[in-house]
Structure 1
Amino acid sequence: MTSQEFPVTFDGVQYDLQRFLRDHPGGFNTLKHYKGKSIVSAMQKFEHSASAYHMLSDFRVDSSVRGVSANGRIITSEEQGRDVKEIAFLEELEGKLDWSKPILGQLHLVAAHYDRWVNSAVYRPCRLFASPLLEALTYTPWYLVPLVWVPVILYLGCTQFAQHVFSEDPTLRISPLQYLCHVALGMAIWSAVEYSLHRWVFHLDPGRSVALIKLHFIIHGLHHKVPFDDYRQVFPPVPAAALAYGFYLFFSCIFSYPLIKMTGGLIGYLTYDMIHCYVHRGSPKAGSYLYSMKRYHSNHHFVNHDKAFGISSKVWDLVFRTIVQVRKLNFNLQWCHDMT
C-alpha cells in the first residue's frame, strides 16, 4: 500500500478510492476511517443509492477478481440495504456502451431506459464527439465564466447608471435607489429563470426519441452522468450569451429599463454558476449557507433527481413543493482537498 492508494474492500473485492476522496458527496471524514477496511456496513448505514453501488465498480482494482461479473456488477451474498436487481440492471445497461468511444453516437443503445441510465452516475472520462474540435468546445474551465461575464456586467452596469441616473433628460432619469431596485428585480427574475430552466428544460423527459435524448444529454444529462467532471460544471459562454440575448429580447417587451434588469439578471446568473461549481468542487464550512446548498445539490444528483432543483436558493422549491429535507447527521461533513 502506498500513500497514493486508498484501498477498501466490499465483500472481499478490493477497490481504490484515492481518486474519489475529494469528490465523495459524503465528505472525506466519513471515508478516512475505512482505509484498508470493508465498506459494506458504511454504505448500508448511510443508505447509499443503487447509483452509488453502480459507481463503485469504477474503482475496482482487478475486474477479474472473484465476486465481480464480467461487466463489473457487484455480486454479493450480503443483500440487505440495497436493491440488487436495480444494481444488476444498471450494470447490464452500462455494458451496452463502449466508454472508450464517443458516447453521443451510442445513446440509441440505452434509449429505452435513458432516464435510469443517465441518473446512475459514473466516475470515468466521457467523450461526446469524435471530432477533437467539437469535443474541445464541450469543456469549460470555471474561471472562463467570470472572465467573460464580469466585464460585461461592469460595462452594462456603468453605462446604464450613467445613462439613467445622470441623464439630463427627465424622461430617462431615475434615482440611484430606483436603479438598484431595477437591478434587484433583474436578480429576482433570474432566480425564477434558474429554477424554471433546471426543472422544465434541463429535466425535460425526452422519451425514447434518440434525437431528443442526444439534445438532453448535451444540455444537462451529461452533467448527471459524469457529475465529477471538472470541466463540465459551468455553462459555456457562447450558448449562455445566446440564451441571455433571447431572454433580453423577451423581457424588453414586458419590462421598462430592460438593460438595467439584464445587469441584475447577469449578476444572478454569474452567482448561480459559481455556486454550482463550488458546491461540486468546494469545501464549504459546516453551518454555512454553501454547506447547506452542497448537501442539498448532492441530494438532487444522487437521491431525488426530480426534486431539489434550486442551486443558489431553495425558494422556488418551496413555492412549487419540490423541496427535500436532507438527512440530518450528528456530525459535520468535511470535504478536504489535502489528502496527505
Structure 2
Amino acid sequence: MSPSTAPRSFTVREVASHCTKDSCWVLLGTRVYDVTAFLRMHPGGEALILGRSGKDVGLEMEGPPHRHSENARRWMEQYYIGELLDTNSGTDEPQGLRERRKGNDQTEGERAAQKTTDDKTKEEDEDSPFNLFSSVDLDKDLVDWQKPLAWQVGHLGEKYDEWVHQPVDRPIRLFGNPLLEAGTKTSWYWVPVVWLPIVFYFSWHCYTTLAKGTTRIPLTSDFSFTVHKYFFPLLFLMGWFLWSFMEYCIHRFVFHMKPPAHNYYLITIHFLLHGQHHKSPFDGARLVFPPGLASVVVGSFYMILHYTLPDILAVCVFVGGLCGYVVYDMIHYYLHYGSPKRGSYMYGLKAYHVKHHFKHQRAGFGITSTFWDHPFQTVIPDEKF
C-alpha cells in the first residue's frame, strides 16, 4: 500500500467474514491483514491461521509457544490492507477521522505541542529495531525493484548483509535479458525429469556389473577380494551419506559466506547463488538448482570419486550421491510450499528451515536432515510451532 494512499476501514463483522482458504484476514491490534497468500507458506500449517481468522493474532505473535522474529513481523506488513473501525464509540466513523476532527478543536499551542511530541515519537520509532516498516523503507531506498537486481546489489556494500536477510514476498528479476533471466528459473519437476533417468541407468549398470562377479579390489599385492552385487546398496547409501555432508558444506560455507562489503563482485556472486533465495524465499521458480548449474556440482562430485575409488565403486557411490541430491532439491521445494502433517518429520523440518530463513540465518544449514548441524554446533534452538 502506497504511503500516500489512505488506508481502508473495515468493521469487525466484515473482517470476521473472511475466514476461508480463498480469503483469510486477521487483525493485529486495529490493523487488518489479508494473509490468504501466506496460508500455504506458514510453517505451522494453514489450519493454525484459519483457526484465528478474523481475530487478533497479537498474543500468538508474542508467544508462547514462541515469539515471532522481527523478520516475520516485517513480512506480515506486506499483507496490510487497512484499519479496523473503532467500535467503542458506537459509530462506524473511522477512528483516524475522529482523531483528526478532535484535533481541529485544539488550540494552536496544543497542536504545536502535540506536533513536537509526534515528531519525537516518529524519530524514536524509525530508530527502533522493532519498526515494522523498516524492511519496506530499506527496499525502496536501496534497490529499484523495477530494474534487474543482479547489477544493483553489489553497490549496497556494508548494507547488503542486512538487506538480503530481510525477506519479502515478491518475485525477483535478476537480469534484463529475457534469455539470461529464463536460464535462472527452473520448475521443480525438471530435477527428477533430468536426473532420475541417470540415477536409474547407472544403478542398473552398477548392479549388473557387480553381478558378474569379476570386480575385485586389491588390498595387497598378494590378496584381493571380490565385490559382489550385494554390496551395491551399501555403496549407494555411502554415496547418499557423502552427499548429505556436501549439502551441508555447500550451504554453510559457500551459500552463506559473508562477502566483503567492499567487493562488488563477491556480493553479486553471493546474491546470484543464494542471496536472492533469502531475499525472496517463496519465489517458486528459484527453489531448485537449474540443471546447468547442478551439473557443475554433480560433475565435480563424480571426478573426486573417480580419482579416489576404483572405477565401478566410484560409480556406485556417485549414483547414490546423485539420488541424494535429487531428494535434497525435492525436499527443499516441499519445505517452502508443502503442507506436512503436524507432528511429522517433514513438519519439524519445515519449521526448522523457516526459522533458518527468518531468524537464524547463521545456523540450521541442514535441509534434508539436521544431522550435520549437531557435530558442527549450528543447531537452531528447538521451538514449537
TM tier, smaller = 0.7 to 0.9
Residue type of the partner of 2:169? Answer: Y
Structure 1 contact 142–234 (Cα < 8 Å) conserved = yes
Q: CA deviation at 1:23?
A: 1.0
Residue 246 of structure 2: aligned partner: 193
Structure 1 contact 299–326 (Cα < 8 Å) conserved = no
Residue 166 of structure 2: aligned partner: 120
Q: Does 1:111 align with 2:131?
A: no
Residue 325 of structure 1: aligned partner: 381
Q: Among 239, 243, 248, which residue is 2:302 paired with?
A: 248
Q: CA deviation at 1:304?
A: 0.9
Counterpart Cα distance in 2 of 1:169 and 1:290: 40
Residue type of the partner of 2:277? Answer: H
Higher CA-based Rg: 2
Counterpart Cα distance in 2 of 1:251 and 1:98: 45
DSSP 3-state at the match of 2:55: coil
Q: CA deviation at 1:147?
A: 0.6
5 Å matches for 1:1-340?
4-45=22-63, 46-61=66-81, 83-85=129-131, 87=132, 89-96=134-141, 97-166=143-212, 168=214, 174-208=227-261, 209-256=263-310, 257-328=313-384
Normalized against structure 1, the TM-score is what?
0.85
Counterpart Cα distance in 1 of 2:68 and 2:202: 46
Normalized against structure 2, the TM-score is what?
0.75
Percent identity of paired positions between Structure 1 and Structure 2:
36
Structure 2 contact 45–342 (Cα < 8 Å) conserved = no
Structure 2 contact 215–227 (Cα < 8 Å) conserved = no
Structure 1 contact 139–232 (Cα < 8 Å) conserved = yes
Q: CA deviation at 1:286?
A: 2.4
DSSP 3-state at the match of 2:46: coil
Residue type of the partner of 1:288? Answer: S
Counterpart Cα distance in 1 of 2:130 and 2:216: 71
Residue type of the partner of 2:302? Answer: Y
> 1:132-166: per-residue Cα shift (whole Å, max 9, x none)?
11111111111110011110001111112222322
> 1:18-59: per-residue Cα shift (whole Å, max 9, x none)?
111111223222222433333333322241111112222322
How many residues are treated as equivalent by the alignment? 315
DSSP 3-state at the match of 1:34: coil
Q: Structure 1 residues 26, 120: closer, same or farther in 2, change over 3 A?
A: farther
DSSP 3-state at the match of 2:47: coil
Q: CA deviation at 1:109?
A: 4.6
Q: Which moved more, 1:93-102 or 1:300-309?
A: 93-102
* Bigger fraction of residues in strand: 2
Unaligned runs of 5+ in 2: 1-13, 84-93, 97-120, 218-224
Counterpart Cα distance in 2 of 1:84 and 1:130: 35
Counterpart Cα distance in 1 of 2:296 and 2:377: 31
